Structure 1
Amino acid sequence: MSTPATIQQTSVLLVDDDARFRQGLQTLLQFYNTTNDQRFTVVGEAASSQQAVQLAMEQHPMLILLDMELATGDGIATLMELAKLDLRSRILVLSGHQEDEWVFRAMRAGANGYVVKDDLATQLFQAIETVLSDQIYLSPELATRFFQTFRFYNGQASEAKVKLHLTEREQEVLHWLVQGASNEEIAAHLYISVATVKAHLTAIFNKLGVTSRTQAIIKALKMGLVGYS
């Protein structure tokens, strides 16, 4: 007598400003419920960045299906906020864009996978299984584009670091600055004094040609000097 397969329960948060699209996702998930040993339960629907973050904090979903273009709130910013919550949610981006830059920015900002909306019918279930297994999902085509873009920006960043003559310690300070750390927090992370942190920041500002922390963060991200975490 065979043993019944274990049913896997997965809570899902849907984030898209198009109600019809969210309904379509509901229909797909219900179909998966009847054809696989996986049960998806939608615990919330959000149409804005603020709603998405609030529901994620309240529901702690195992899976977040996130659109990159919300009527209120930037998709990348939303993705970064969700990733920072550290809820152990897997974030799968569903987007109408397949351009290299969109995929690259989403993956850098903390996405666990990226699926083009036109390919949902053929790729969504595999993508969900992949990210729930703590792996990254990109279709072969998107993966190729992503790594091509990664190599391009990595090369740019290397050239920028050489051109700016950033020291290893300055790169470490810049990393923590981009993460939003205060001078005191940077000092604690790097085991140096606050006065030393301030000295490094002054040198970094001069090399970047900026006058504030915000300007330094924006320029560092644009130049690919640091990434998100």
Structure 2
Amino acid sequence: MTISVVLVDDHAVVREAVAGMLSSQDGVSVVGQAGSLTEGRALFDRMFRTPPPGRVVAVIDVTMPDGSGLDLVRAVREQNKDIGLVVLTMLNDDSTLLEALDAGASALVRKSAPSDQVLSAVRRAADFPLEFSASGLAEAMRRRHEQPQTSLTSRETEVLKLLVEGASVAQVGKSLYMSQSTVKTHIGKIYDKLGAHNRASAVIAAVRLGLVADVDRA
């Protein structure tokens, strides 16, 4: 069965190189490209209305000019459980890997990886869209469990900063290019990690733990 691939990456050279590599493979067809989150959202809106043939896999960069590609991953996964979502990134840190896992990605591949790893991730994501794979996943999970439970991801820290500043859920979403449901998911995780039940108790906990000071310095 055909694998229809959508590419979302602001680096045209990288996007075209990946498109060329994938298009040369039997049974793989690149059906759309976008250079920003805004273009990516519009591309997915059209694709949801008129699905391409076969199984669909999106290859999405993390660092984009108008936000994080992981927010697009999360938004797409909220709408569709069958799309393969491969995160392609230059970043090499636990936070990005674990956030990709939490966002519902199918795989994370670093841009420094050989092209056959990208192809393998795309094929696997087509077959198992809800099973996450990434190099170094086991080690990252071990380090996550060894860290204090109050450790926030970079995205959660950004949300916390805006909450401390008094932003509403809608304002947080607008500032960080996220849907309100995604913002609420982040807030729920922040509350869980801080042992908070509402915004006020979260702010108090953040001050006590020194998290607000860290945010303010950022």
Bin of the TM-score, shorter chain as denominator length: 0.5 to 0.7
In 2, Cα distance between the equivalents of 1:86 and 1:147? 26
In the alignment, which residue of structure 1 is the partner of 2:11?
A: 18
In the alignment, which residue of structure 1 is the partner of 2:184?
A: 178
Q: Which runs of 4+ in 1 moved over 6 A?
A: none
In 2, Cα distance between the equivalents of 1:13 and 1:109? 18
Answer yes or no: is 1:144 the counterpart of 2:135: no
User: How far did residue 75 of structure 1 move?
Assistant: 2.1
Match runs of 1:1-229 below 5 Å: 8-33=1-26, 39-60=27-48, 62-86=56-80, 88-134=82-128, 135-139=131-135, 142-152=136-146, 155-156=148-149, 178-179=184-185, 204-209=198-203
In 2, Cα distance between the equivalents of 1:87 and 1:10? 16
In 2, Cα distance between the equivalents of 1:72 and 1:177? 17
- Could you tell me whether the CA contact under 8 Å between 1:63 and 1:132 is conserved in 2? yes
In 1, Cα distance between the equivalents of 2:127 and 2:19? 21
Flag the structure with larger Rg: 1
User: How far did residue 93 of structure 1 move?
Assistant: 0.3
**Residue-by-residue CA offset, 1:19-44 (whole Å, 9 max, x unaligned):** 111111112112322xxxxx112121
Structure 2 SS opposite 1:32? coil
Unaligned runs of 5+ in 1: 1-7, 34-38, 159-174, 181-201, 211-218, 220-229
CA distance 1:85–1:77, change in 2 (3 Å): same
- Could you tell me whether the CA contact under 8 Å between 2:4 and 2:57 is conserved in 1? yes
- Could you tell me whether the CA contact under 8 Å between 1:57 and 1:85 is conserved in 2? no
TM-score (norm 1): 0.61
CA distance 1:23–1:100, change in 2 (3 Å): same
- Could you tell me whether the CA contact under 8 Å between 1:53 and 1:81 is conserved in 2? no
| Aligned CA-pair RMSD | 2.9
- Could you tell me whether the CA contact under 8 Å between 1:112 and 1:131 is conserved in 2? yes
User: How far did residue 206 of structure 1 move?
Assistant: 4.3
Q: 2:64 corresponds to which letter in structure 1?
A: L
In 2, Cα distance between the equivalents of 1:47 and 1:146? 29
In 1, Cα distance between the equivalents of 2:95 and 2:39? 26
In 2, Cα distance between the equivalents of 1:22 and 1:176? 27
User: How far did residue 152 of structure 1 move?
Assistant: 3.6
Unaligned runs of 5+ in 2: 152-180, 187-195, 205-210, 212-218
Q: 1:40 corresponds to which letter in structure 2?
A: V
Structure 1 SS opposite 2:63? coil
